[in-house]
Structure 1
Amino acid sequence: MTLLDTVRPSIRDGDVTVLVAGVGTLGASGILKALRQTDAFDAHIVGVDANPNARGFSLVDTAATVSQEEPGALVAEIHEIAWTENVDVIFPLGTEYLRPLSESKPTFESEGIRVMVADPRALAIARDTGRLYGELVKQGHPATPEFYRVSTHDEFVDAVHALGYPDRCVCFKPPIGTDLSCLHILDPEINRFNALLNKQSNSIRTTLDGVLPAFAETTEFPDLIVTEDLRGEKYSVDALVRTEDEPILVTRLHTETDENRSFTGTVEEDFELMEYSREICDLIGVEYNATLRFKRGVDGTPKLLGVHPRISKSITACVGAGANIPALSVQYALGHELPDVDVEWGTHVTRDWQDVFYGPDREPSTI
């Protein structure tokens, strides 16, 4: 696709046209449904994804497949779709859309198309855990976990021991990215046989002796973040960050997760987590949606695991508790005054699978 030089068509009466980028992302179906549940606007949804069988295509008004081989080409394709469909707001769900859309945001917004993504600097800090923690250290923020950024074999071993191994478990992961599936836990008391037969959710448990031979095989030692292992309760804070107003914040306790595809949890009011999240978002410079992950340390202090500079895959937990953050985010992007949000604290949520069916002679459908 190429950029169009024609005049944009007229706006549909009563509609807000939202281009949702990444409708094949886990959790997309709930977000798409949330956009239709609001009384604030009638959503005409344009769904975009690289996968022609993306699960969210069954829930949109207009579907379009894009390539992701090169960011410039991706932006050009989205631009043409946005222009043709008279899009008001671009709402990225997939991480792969964030940086290209952030860097091209001035072009879109000069044409009246709002792009719901933070600026490139904020994205860079949020995506790099080492840099994020470094910014927190500068502020002396209490949510900073014990950590080391290492890039050699000796630095790695020294950091692991400095954090208390083998008397304590220690974690490590690449600094770039927020996917907890890349997290590894060094556990000196691990039962190797049991670990083989019972996969630990979102982590791989091993020992220091178990990982050093693998590192010895590499020609260049990887850049890693080594942190304390936090064993307390896990929380998410869903944030809609506004530049000239207080953020909308909803805190959630995770009681059970399964590979990020299903979970149970409770929407709980936690003022300490809200304040920490407000400070961290302000420090990074995040705008629009962000998801902050915390775990409590042994003394009960919340420690930051990371910041996702996009809307959560499980944001429907907030929607079910009365905070339709997807719809509110679109309203904010359009410059509308937002209503007061009345969260029903204590709401318990269980999320599980949803099936999408494809037939040779029919559009995708759900039950």
Structure 2
Amino acid sequence: MSRRTPMRSGPDADLTVLMTGAGAPGASGIIESLRLTDERSFRIVGVDTNPEAYGFALVDAGHTVPPGESDEYVSRMVDVAAAEDADVILPLTTAEIEPLAAAREAFDATIMVSDPDALGVANDKGKLYRFLADEGFESAPTYHRVDSEAEFVDAVESLGYPETPVCFKPPVASGMRGFRVLDDRTDRLTRLLEEKPDAAVTTLSEVRPILASAESFPELAVMEYLPGEEYSVDVLAMGETVGPVVPRSRARTRAGISFEGVVEKREDLIDEAAAICRGLGLEYNVNVQFRYDADGVPKVIEINPRVSGTIVMCVGAGANMPYLGVKHALGESIPPVDVEWGTRMVRYWRELFRSADGRTFHLDHESAGRRSRSQLQ
């Protein structure tokens, strides 16, 4: 792994961070995390596919780029990084990390991504589950990788359906995209009238004709249903070793994003997440998601080999994980952290406005109770 030694080296030097996914839900928290450190100042450049991305109002400069899957993505990123004299590139979205990893030598900046081989396993749930099982990790879930209707039905039934719920998801996907729980224990009328339209629970009879109607049956990872509590574990991975490891509960989520949780010192999760990251040889900020099975054993749901959307929860508890990731990218030593276990976070929405003349602002309440426009740029 190669790292650029910035010309502005030293802990008190200003650095330029090029952050992708300026419109991602977690972008504001990560921007704030970098600005919170008093060790050095940051110039933050944001890029996104959407010219209206809210994060452009929070960074020092912004650019639009093609999607990570586009053939033009890497060349555009190389141009932006050179024009902005970026020291470090910090990707926030899954679709961009593998193209950036493959083209690492084209950049002068250090890219905060793991090697392509490690990413190929971490990003593919089927490969990841097989790796965990082959290496003897207790957190390996029971799963089947299928690519036909017959295999899908067999896998679902072998995992206990319809008496027991079963989950499935595309092997490569981010967030809740494509995730469904097959559960025949609740009648259709109850789901129709009492659940939100975006609920992930369905039945085999409902999804089977949809999947069968595809031109080619999609590849899926079918896995055991895990009824216990869900946790995200943020890890500063450093190849053969790890830095801080911080578990946090996912008490309330929306579309896969945590809106409430508690930072908890759970040694089983700390040990398992650290061992998995070392085993895969992952680098920089990594997020490992676990859920407990019926016997109280934590099983891996997925790995996000990038900064997570709710990593700011760790920052609130005293571990500035995004900044520590940048320090690792620069080859600097990682100081010990004092995590305040038990810290609780509740996330809420805040609106961003843009006036007709291009100004961006929030609505603030002054002490007199009047609303004022607080211009951001």
TM-score of the aligned structures, taking structure 2 as reference length:
0.89
Question: 1:81-230 residue pairs with structure 2 within 5 A?
Answer: 81-108=80-107, 111=108, 113-199=109-195, 203-230=199-226
Residue type at the aligned position of 1:140: G
Q: 1:198 to 1:313 in 2, by over 3 A?
A: farther
Q: Which structure 1 segments of 5+ residues have no match? A: 1-8
Please tell me whether residue 290 in structure 1 is matched to residue 324 in structure 2: no
For this pair of structures, how many residues does the alignment match?
A: 356
CA contact (8 A) 2:14 2:42 kept: yes
Deviates more, 1:261-270 or 1:26-35: 261-270
**Which of 337, 345, 351 is the aligned partner of 2:347?**
351
SS class of match (1:182):
coil
The residue that corresponds to 2:51 in the other structure is 52
Task: Tell me, in whole angstroms, the C-alpha distance in 1 between the residues paired with 2:7 and 2:28.
Answer: 28
Residue type at the aligned position of 2:139: A
Please tell me whether residue 236 in structure 1 is matched to residue 235 in structure 2: no
| Amino-acid identity (%) | 42
SS class of match (1:102):
helix
- Tell me the CA shift for residue 258 of structure 1: 2.2
Deviates more, 1:211-220 or 1:53-62: 211-220
Please tell me whether residue 309 in structure 1 is matched to residue 305 in structure 2: yes
- Tell me the CA shift for residue 271 of structure 1: 0.9
Deviates more, 1:271-280 or 1:190-199: 190-199
Which deviations, in whole Å up to 9, do the C-alpha atoms of 1:267-326 show, x marking residues without a partner?
000111111111211222211111111000010000000001111101111110001111
- Tell me the CA shift for residue 334 of structure 1: 0.8
CA contact (8 A) 2:142 2:224 kept: yes
- Tell me the CA shift for residue 199 of structure 1: 3.9
Task: Tell me, in whole angstroms, the C-alpha distance in 1 between the residues paired with 2:274 and 2:42.
Answer: 29
Task: Tell me, in whole angstroms, the C-alpha distance in 1 between the residues paired with 2:309 and 2:69.
Answer: 25
The residue that corresponds to 1:336 in the other structure is 332
SS class of match (1:293):
strand
Task: Tell me, in whole angstroms, the C-alpha distance in 1 between the residues paired with 2:249 and 2:68.
Answer: 37
SS class of match (2:56):
helix
Residue type at the aligned position of 2:101: S
CA contact (8 A) 1:183 1:202 kept: no
CA contact (8 A) 2:68 2:99 kept: no
- Tell me the CA shift for residue 70 of structure 1: 5.8
TM-score of the aligned structures, taking structure 1 as reference length:
0.91
- Tell me the CA shift for residue 38 of structure 1: 0.4
The residue that corresponds to 2:374 in the other structure is none
CA contact (8 A) 1:235 1:293 kept: yes
SS class of match (1:196):
helix
The residue that corresponds to 1:4 in the other structure is none
CA contact (8 A) 1:10 1:86 kept: no
Deviates more, 1:73-82 or 1:31-40: 73-82
Q: 1:234 to 1:200 in 2, by over 3 A?
A: farther
- Tell me the CA shift for residue 50 of structure 1: 1.4
Which deviations, in whole Å up to 9, do the C-alpha atoms of 1:16-73 show, x marking residues without a partner?
1111111111110111011100012100111111111111111111111222386442
Task: Tell me, in whole angstroms, the C-alpha distance in 2 between the residues paired with 1:70 and 1:159.
Answer: 31
Residue type at the aligned position of 1:327: Y
Which deviations, in whole Å up to 9, do the C-alpha atoms of 1:113-154 show, x marking residues without a partner?
111011111111111100111111111211011111112222
- Tell me the CA shift for residue 198 of structure 1: 4.0
CA contact (8 A) 1:241 1:289 kept: yes
